[in-house]
Structure 1
Amino acid sequence: MAGISCPPGLMILHRRIFVLVLPLLACLLALVSLPATAQPEEADKLKAVFVYNFAQYVKWPESMPDTPEFQLCLTGTSRVIEALQRLQGETLNQRQIRVRSLHLGDDPSGCRLLFIGESELPRLEFLLETIDALPVLTVSDLPGFAASGGMIGFFWEGSKIRFEINHQAANAAGLALSSRLLKLARLVGEQP
């Protein structure tokens, strides 16, 4: 008995819709409540999914070198960073993800996204000044991160993981954030 087949053009359309809708669906699902008994590791993995999806809704300046890899840079320590390290070799916007650890004195150029771990709180101001003129999306789960000059910061609202965006900081770095992403966020700082 022959199976039901779908015309190739329809299959391609279904794939395109799936690829376009899946990241947005993941962000929306992430906004739902986590059970009160959720393990911290689950929340950290969810934040890593958010970070991956954030990058899909950002446009970097044309002046940035066109390379076959997406440098996801990490500094400090946190369980979110451990989850983000698992993205090594995955594909994002047709680029292979290269996870790179940054240490004091390392050159951050080439990074497209920098996740700042909780251990970096004492150096936060210095880190943000170091990359101030670079087109690097900064993300962290440090309290008040976006209000302190970072671009995207996680926060808890009851039992929900939410995020806030400092649109002015992103614009100053030459990054264009999608209106879809902005609609899901709480905006902080002066708005452009």
Structure 2
Amino acid sequence: MRKALYLGLCLLVFSIASGQTFYQTHTLYVYSFAKFVQWPEENRVGDFEIAVLGDSPILPELDKLAQKKKIGDRTIRIVRLTSVKEFKKSHILFLPAAQSGALSDFVQKIGDQSTLIVTEQAGLGTKGSDINFLVKDGKLVFELNQNSLSKHKLKAANELTRLAIII
């Protein structure tokens, strides 16, 4: 099982290297996060919800993903948010760089709920984000904040932590 998970992540890295667009790559990573992060039992039923604040180029890519893939046997549902107030509960919250200023409001609103907060701006990995995308040497990489994950009662598989920059 572990070898299969690791192989899946390696294939993800190779697909990224094969010329995927920037947000197609983000989407593949978000899908992998959904598969390689363990949520508490009460969060493992119903649709798998991914919320995005604002109008981001990742939205059409996530919509395509939701039409083709599932998380286990669960349907993926994409929720577009226009404000922090609209947020109720999601498995993953994606906060685009243009919306980075809302991170502290989301961190406060989410508290210890089991929501994986994913951002894409330097410095946010230490300010409440669970996973933060960065571009290093022209490659998309991600930081993983294990303290924040623990606060949200989430656990990353070893295969995921091996690929991350741990902060």
- What does residue 39 of structure 2 align with? 60
2:106 is the counterpart of 1:106: no
Structure 2 unpaired stretches of 5+: none
Question: Counterparts of 1:39-58 in structure 2 under 5 Å?
Answer: 42-58=21-37
Shift of 1:163: 0.6
Q: Is the 8 A contact 2:116 2:130 kept in 1?
A: yes
Structure 1 unpaired stretches of 5+: 1-15
- What does residue 55 of structure 2 align with? 77
Shift of 1:30: 5.5
Q: Counterpart of 1:87 in 2: which secondary structure?
A: helix
The C-alpha deviation readout for 1:101-136, integer Å capped at 9, x for no partner, is: 123211422x11111112212222111211122101
Q: Percent identity, aligned pairs only?
A: 23
- The whole-number CA distance in structure 2 between the counterparts of 1:52 and 1:95 is 13
Amino acid in structure 1 at the alignment position of 2:14: L
2:103 is the counterpart of 1:118: no
- Quickly say closer, same or farther: Cα 1:93–1:125, change in 2 above 3 A: same
- What does residue 28 of structure 1 align with? 13
Q: Counterpart of 2:123 in 1: which secondary structure?
A: coil
- The whole-number CA distance in structure 1 between the counterparts of 2:143 and 2:43 is 25
Q: Counterpart of 2:160 in 1: which secondary structure?
A: helix
- Quickly say closer, same or farther: Cα 1:94–1:65, change in 2 above 3 A: closer
Q: Counterpart of 1:100 in 2: which secondary structure?
A: strand
RMSD: 2.5
Shift of 1:23: 2.9
Q: Taking structure 2 as the reference length, what is the TM-score of the superposition? A: 0.86
- The whole-number CA distance in structure 2 between the counterparts of 1:107 and 1:152 is 19
Higher alpha-carbon deviation: 49-58 or 23-32:
23-32
Amino acid in structure 2 at the alignment position of 1:76: G
The C-alpha deviation readout for 1:3-36, integer Å capped at 9, x for no partner, is: xxxxxxxxxxxxx99975663233332675x7xx
Of residues 136, 140, 146, the one that matches 2:125 is: 146
Amino acid in structure 2 at the alignment position of 1:24: L
Higher alpha-carbon deviation: 159-168 or 114-123:
114-123
Q: How many residue pairs are counted as aligned between the two chains? A: 165
Structure number, greater radius of gyration:
1
Shift of 1:140: 1.7
The C-alpha deviation readout for 1:82-105, integer Å capped at 9, x for no partner, is: 322322333122211111112321
Q: Which has the higher helix share?
A: 2
Amino acid in structure 1 at the alignment position of 2:82: H
Q: Is the 8 A contact 1:30 1:161 kept in 2?
A: no
Q: Is the 8 A contact 2:52 2:79 kept in 1?
A: yes
